[in-house]
Each structure stands twice: as structure tokens, then as C-alpha cells.
Chains A and B, each alone.
Chain A
Amino acid sequence: MSEPTTIFKRPASMRDAFTHYCPGCTHGVIHRLIAETLDELGLRERTIGIAPVGCSVLAYNYFYCDFQEAAHGRAPALATGIKRVLPDRIVFTYQGDGDLASIGTAEILHAANRGEKFTTVFVNNAVYGMTGGQMAPTTMPNQVTTTCPRGRDVNLAGWPFPVADVLAQLRTPAYVERVAVHTPRHIINAKRAIKQAFRYQMEGRCYSFIEVLSTCPTNWGKTPAEACKWLDEVMVPYFKLGLKKSPDRPPVE
């Protein structure tokens, strides 16, 4: 009989810690994909992550690399400050939809428009998680939350904010892709995109932005399985997955 070999383990870029995320939440999956990427590209000791305000404010309890914690929405400003003074380091922001798509819209748009050479992983779960399930800019039409108890009224609150599609309109070269993590197939694809985003940063090519559709069973009032189904049936048709912009492809004039 051959010696047992390890085929699955905690990435070196993750700490050995208990999670505070709710059962069925996909933050943990996304954390792992980033950590695997840092491991595989050998970046852990060169990397500075930036935690947002929201459920993932404590991301530094899970990632085993240097971290800063930003004010609500300002992670791209911190990242700009770091990357400008330490251009050879790898910098990434990890932000939710309240943080990035609402209070931090100016920061994310202008960081992308300046072409700052860092990476953003944007976790879109269509709701404010940490404050207990309020309407986010990404909340789906008619989706019930604590601050839209009759469902999101698009006449009053507008349509869900499609951040990846908006950023892809900028003339400045960037890598922008929207992925999801509700099935193994989607998770594998999300990993590929996140790794590509860090590769572009390593090459000093461009700003890179990965929007990840994610579940929030607790605030959606669903089981984890129901949440994955809802993501697939309600979010994916509106937030279209796929590559939105690539530095390898010249913009259409």
C-alpha cells in the first residue's frame, strides 16, 4: 500500500481560524480562492490586503498576510496610497456591495479610471449583510429586505447597480469580469478569473476587478441550497456573468 498523500489542505495564505460567517455564506469560498491564488503565485509575503466595512471587515482574521482595514467604501483610496508608495507589492481590496457599490462608488470608479495597479474582489450578495439585511444598490427588483419590506421598487430605488458593466465602460485599460460561486463549475471559473486578476497586477498591466455573485442565506431568509438556486435564477439573468473588459483586447473606438 502506498503512503497517504495530502490532496486537499488549508492554503498557507489562510490562518487556522474559526469563521464568523453564517452557515451557507460564500465569503469563505471566495476567501479560499484568493488564498489559493496567493499561494500558487507565491505572493503571500508581498501582499497587502484591504478589508472593507461589512461582513468581511474581519477578513484579516482569515488571510495570513499583511492587511489594512478601511473606512466604509474607502478601500480603493487606501489601496491607491499603498500601491503608489510600494509599487512592487501586491495590493488587493476585498469589498461588499454596500461598501463598494453605494458609499464607495467615487473611490472605486476613480481608482479604476486612474488605472491603479491593484486588484479588487467585489462580493455582490444583493443585500447589506452585517447590519442585518437592508436594501443594497444591488438588491434585485421586488426583493424584500428590511428597508424595502414591500420589495425593491425600481421606480423609487432604481435598478440594481451593475458595477462590473459600468466599470467596463471606462476608456482606461482594465481587466473586469463577473463570476459566481454557487456551483463547483462556477467556483472553478471564479478561481481562474481571480488568478488572472492577480497575474495582470504582477505584470503591472492594469487595474483588475472581479465581481463575484455570492449568497447570503441568513438575510435572504433561505437555506444555503435555496440561496444558490435563487442566485442562479434571479441574480444571474440580471448580473450577466463573463468577461467585461480585458487589457489584451483593445477597446472598440
Chain B
Amino acid sequence: MAKKLMKGNEAIGEAAIVAGAQAYFCYPITPQTEVAEYLAKRMPEVGGVFVQAESELAASQMIFGAAAAGARAFTTSSSPGISLMGEAMSYIAAAELPAVFINIIRCGPGLGGILPSQGDYLQATKGGGHGDYRFLVLAPSTVQETVDLTIEAFRLADKYRNPVLLIGDGLIGQMMEPVDFEGRGAPPTLDTSAWATTGCVGREPHIVKTLFLDPNELERRNRKMRDKYEQMKREEVRFEAYLCDDAPELLVAAYGTTARVVRTAIDRLREDGVKVGMFRPISVFPFPDEPVRQLAFQPSVRSVLVVEMSMGQMLEDVERALQGRRPIHFYGRGGGNVPAPEELVRECRRLLGNGQGGRP
């Protein structure tokens, strides 16, 4: 199959179909509504389920029902809608059901705006719903990577019987790029026969629940879930190191759309001989703690600059990972403003300071 020019949101819809998604539940919200519009056409064509729910509360709980009945189910939304889905996220994680959530982040807080943002990082990686659980969180920076990680999200959801959250931003959802579906297919079907509620023919009834009133039983479940998150930390760390192996003086940490801008800025700085590299986490939970340490603790690296479309959220993970052993600076834009390469070039030069960092 030749490459196809697709909008990010439509590519998400097609990728989910390629991944064998059987049910999609949604509620319209800008800037991701094109996923729903695309799947309203496509899901019936492939024999799948499409339901436009009455709210994000209901859409996300429909996922609970479908996933607990053994179906590969998912939803997409944007920030305010994801807040409403926080309830179901907690229950789905608690019931250990595989499911995929996609957040095309818009700027907030509150109703905020409809322009791109990375302001939901902490919600995505540290919580969202109540209780002691984690999502596995992936952050693509191109439309092709969005396709590949969407398919991967379904595989990982099955592998861990845990929800996987993919975070993009309005730009990823709205931009058009060539995408390739060649060689990509559905992950193997998960064997759900030991727990799915499908009718108890010839077996004891299955019960999918999240209420455990016995503290010891609930603690056992908490520990089992903790073990899954520890396994994710060992097996699912994904990142990219861009121009980091020639003794860079400055390491820039960025993900998603911001990483695209950082890449452009670095290319320009490099033309002038300024040695800057980029650390781009692709999994943001688990956060690539060890990789960022290895990159930042190179003797050549004088400091680290974190760039985000927020007032500093991933910054906290970088600070945690680096344990105070390198100076960390932050450059953030908000309100839906995307940083321009020039401002990042300027910021990098300022940090390297005093005419250092290559030719003036």
C-alpha cells in the first residue's frame, strides 16, 4: 500500500481499525471530533460497533462494559472530556480490563481553548481518576508515529490488562502527513475466556468488579497492579535520543509536537556548530528515567532545558530523574501558543551564554 496523506485524527481512526478495534464509544469535542466522524463511517464497514454516547462519562463506561465482555474497545476525547472519563479510567484499571484512551490535548484549565497544549501531562501520567493505579502513556510526535503507537497501544493494553493512554495535542490531531499502514496489523487476539462476562455456558459465572471490602484482598490486588507497573518500567520504556552522541553541551527534553520544534531549532543551531541534543520520551509513563540520566550525565552536558506547551509538567519527571545532578531550565508556552524554532534557538544560545556554544 502506498503512503496516504491523512489528517492525524483520521489516521487514529484507521489505525484503530487496523489494530482490530471492535467497539468505539465517543462524545464530540474539539479538536478530536474528526476521529468520531471518520469512525461513524468506518466502524459499520468493518462490522464494528460505533456509539455516540450522551456524555464522556457514559462513553467511557460503555468501554468498561464492552471490554469486560471481551471486546477490543476504545475512545478518543480531548482534555475536558478526559476529565469526565477519569471515573471510568479508574474503574477500568481497577477491573484490569484492556482498553485504549486517546487524548488530543487542548489548552486549559477549565474550558480553556481549542488550540494545542501539553497541559494534561500530569493528569495523564500521575492520575486522572482516583485511587492507586497507573495508565501506560504514549506520546507520539508525528502522524505516522501516532498510527504506530495507536496499534501498539492495543497490544500493550492486552499484554497488561490495563488501559493505555495515548496523548497527542491539537496539532497532531489536525495536521496532515503521509502515513504508511504497510505491514501493520492487529495484535493477536487476547484470550479472555478466563474472565470475560459472555454468559456462563458450561462454567462458573464470571464477575467483573472493583469493590473489595476485605482490606487484605484489596491490598493483594494493589500489589499485583504495582507489579504490573514495575514490569512496564522494565519493558516499555521508549525514547529517542537526537544528536546526543557527539558530546553536546546542552540537552533539550521535549515530547510530542514540541519535540518537532526542538528538532528544527537544534538543526539550526548545529548549522552554526552549537552542540545541542534532544531527549524525546515516547513513553511518558513509564518515564525513561535511566535513559535521560545517561544522556544528561555525559560530562559534556552543562545543563538541561525542558521545553513544553505547559507551565512545567514533564519538568517534574526530568527533575525527579536527574536528582539535582545537572542544572535544569524550563521554557514553556501556554494558551495554545506553539513555540517557534527561533525562540528556542534564542533560548538555547542564552543558556549556553557568553559567546560559548559555537561560532557567534
Residues on A close to B: CB < 8 A?
44-48, 50-51, 57-58, 60, 63-71, 74, 76-82, 84-86, 89-90, 106-107, 109-110
Binding site for A on B (CB under 8 A): 22-23, 25, 49, 51, 53-55, 57-59, 61-71, 73, 87-88, 91, 197-202, 205-211
Q: Are B61 and A71 in contact (CB under 8 A)?
A: yes
- Are A106's CB and B54's CB within 8 A? yes
User: Contact between B62 and A106 (Cβ–Cβ < 8 Å)?
Assistant: no
A to B CB contacts below 8 Å, 28 in the list: A44-B200, A50-B65, A60-B209, A65-B205, A66-B205, A67-B197, A67-B207, A68-B197, A70-B64, A71-B87, A74-B58, A77-B59, A77-B65, A78-B62, A78-B68, A80-B51, A80-B53, A81-B68, A81-B71, A81-B73, A82-B65, A82-B69, A85-B23, A85-B49, A85-B70, A89-B199, A106-B54, A106-B58
Contact A69 B211 (CB under 8 A): yes
Q: Which residues of A contact B68 (CB under 8 A)?
A: 68, 78, 81-82
Is A85 a contact of B57 with CB atoms below 8 Å? no
* In the complex, chain B residues whose CB is within 8 Å of the CB of A77: 53, 57-59, 61-62, 64-65
A77: nearest chain-B partner, CB-CB: B61
Task: Check A85/B205 contact, CB under 8 A, given A69-B211, A107-B54.
Answer: no
Q: How far is the CA of A245 from the CA of B67 in the complex (A)?
A: 32
- When distances are taken between beta carbons in the complex, the residues of chain B under 8 Å from A47 are 199
8 pairs of A and B residues whose beta carbons are closest in the complex: A81-B65, A78-B65, A77-B61, A69-B209, A81-B66, A81-B62, A110-B54, A66-B197
When the two chains form the complex, which single residue of B64, B202, B207 contacts A78, counting CB atoms closer than 8 Å? B64
Q: What residue in chain B is nearest A85 (Cβ atoms)?
A: B71
| Whole-angstrom distance between the Cβ of A111 and the nearest chain B Cβ | 8
State the CA gap A85–B20 with chains docked (Å). 14
A48 touches B58 (CB 8 A): no
* Residues from chain A with Cβ under 8 Å of B209 in the complex: 51, 60, 67-69
The answer to whether A45 touches B200, judged by C-beta atoms less than 8 angstroms apart, is yes
Partner of B58, one of A84, A89, A107: A107
Q: Which residue of B lies closest to A66 (CB)?
A: B197
Choose one: A48, A67, A68; the contact of B64 (CB below 8 Å). A68
Known A-B contacts A77-B53, A107-B54; A69 and B210 likewise in contact (beta carbons under 8 Å): yes
Contact A68 B200 (CB under 8 A): no
* B210 to A, closest residue via Cβ: A69
